[in-house]
Structure 1
Amino acid sequence: MHPPGVAASECAAGVYGCCVPFCDTTQPNTCPGVGQECVQALADPPPKYENAGVCVLPS
């Protein structure tokens, strides 16, 4: 769960715990939230997870 300012513009202001979907960083952007982008989920991903991402608003 992410704070609303990171998760999506549709998240209620002040509500912590907005869920964000996982995505594949090698695929076209399939993130459902307005303005969301698929970004790398892990700083140092293990093998088979190097393309794992999460849908968040760009920083």
Structure 2
Amino acid sequence: MNKIQNFFNNYDGLLTDFDDDVFKALVGRVLVKAPNHVCFELKNGIVLEEKFIKKKGKNGLI
């Protein structure tokens, strides 16, 4: 947890969009368990799960 706190304590700016550097600093790996189930394993060991509902149509697009 200290590495994450240090990163944000030293980060200058407001996050309004995706930031590749922040993502790489925090996320160790991404596990795709199913087309609608993804897990983000943070470098400090915390695992964040995200499940979502795919919309109808090709590639989830309406």
Is the radius of gyration larger for structure 1 or structure 2? 2
Common fold by TM > 0.5: no
Taking structure 1 as the reference length, the TM-score comes to 0.23
More strand by share: 2
Q: Larger relative CO (CA 8 A, sep 6+): 1 or 2? A: 1
More helix by share: 2
Taking structure 2 as the reference length, the TM-score comes to 0.22
